[in-house]
Amino acid sequence: MLARLNNRISRSKTEGGFTLIELLVVIIIIGILLAIAIPSYLKFRDRANKSAAQANVRASIPAIEAYFADNNSYAGATLAYLQTTYDAGVKNIVIQSATSTTYCIESTVGAETWKKTGPGSDIVTGACP
């Protein structure tokens, strides 16, 4: 009996490799880690998209207000004009409407859309009407 155990031990030393049980345990551990990591990553990505969309709208406000100060109207403001004249850092926004007294700027990053309507409103979620 002892001789067979010694034979088996010496044979396993020369053959090497993993048993099926060891491989299954490793696969189960990787699956558990993925089940924890993927939802966390998705939440992180959603928060990043939200912050980026809000930052895009927030960054465009000084340029659109400078346009109003120069022209006494928001009408005619375009993204290209704001970038070339006031701030090249204004990006990823859409000026949906611009009249003489109000405007609506929105930014969409991923699935997040944020907007600012007019000079007196807050930055809120949703698209311009």
Residue 106: CB atoms within 10 A of its CB come to 21
Single-letter amino acid code for the residue at 98: A
What DSSP string describes 29-85?
Answer: HHHHHHHHHHHHHHHHHHHHHHHHHHHHHHHHHHHHHHHHHHHSS-TT--HHHHHHH
Instruction: Encode pLDDT of 83-127 as tens digits.
Output: 999 998 899 999 999 999 999 999 999 999 999 998 889 999 998
Contact (CB, 8 A) for 113 and 52? no
Tokens of 94: 């859409």
Instruction: Encode pLDDT of 40-59 as tens digits.
Output: 999 999 999 999 999 999 99
| 0.75 surpassed by pTM | no
